[in-house]
Amino acid sequence: MGAQNGKDLLVKVDMTGDGQFETVAGLRATRISFNAETVDVTSLSSAGGWRELLGGAGVKSASISGSGVFRDAGTDERARAIFFNGETPDFQIIIPDFGIIEGAFMISGLDYAGTHNGEATFELSLASAGQLTFVAD
């Protein structure tokens, strides 16, 4: 995989629950992180005293963060509704030349900011709320 344009990493939300995804408008920066908890099964009989981990165990999670400017009333309103109603709709994360990650996410943080002589901005944090799927490009 060669160098990619950062603006091609997209976060899309299912606007109405019918599987039609729209890009969250105005995002300038986006980041996705995958995490897996480890389950330590080390015992006195572990070879050489080295830690042993139980494969396939532990909780997996993903988090997404993004920041940007207001551009589209529809996706702005949808993000607010998801947060204030505690919804966990499906999102898609498009990673160029890598694939598409899809699944339920909760908006765990929604921040708004602005300066006197600048644009209004927002920051969005998402936490996975179920199993995610991955389809390679």
Task: Convert the pLDDT of each residue in 47-72 to its tens digit.
Answer: 999 999 999 999 999 999 999 987 77
What Cα–Cα distance (Å) separates residue 98 from each residue in 9, 30, 51, 77, 94?
10, 15, 33, 30, 8
Q: Distance (Å, rounded) from C-alpha 106 to C-alpha 93?
A: 14
Mean pLDDT (whole number) for 11-38? 91
Residue 96, pLDDT > 90, answer no
pLDDT-derived band at 7 (thresholds 50, 70, 90) equals low
- CATH fold, domain 6-34+61-136, is Pnp Oxidase; Chain A (2.30.110)
Q: Distance (Å, rounded) from C-alpha 91 to C-alpha 74?
A: 15
Query: What pLDDT does 28 receive?
Result: 87
Query: What pLDDT does 5 receive?
Result: 64
Mean pLDDT (whole number) for 24-38? 91
pTM here is 0.85
- Return the bridge partners of 123, or none: 67, 111
Contact between residue 13 and residue 68 where contact means Cβ atoms under 8 Å apart: no
Element (H, E) at 103: strand 99-113
Q: Distance (Å, rounded) from C-alpha 107 to C-alpha 134?
A: 20
Contact between residue 133 and residue 103 where contact means Cβ atoms under 8 Å apart: yes
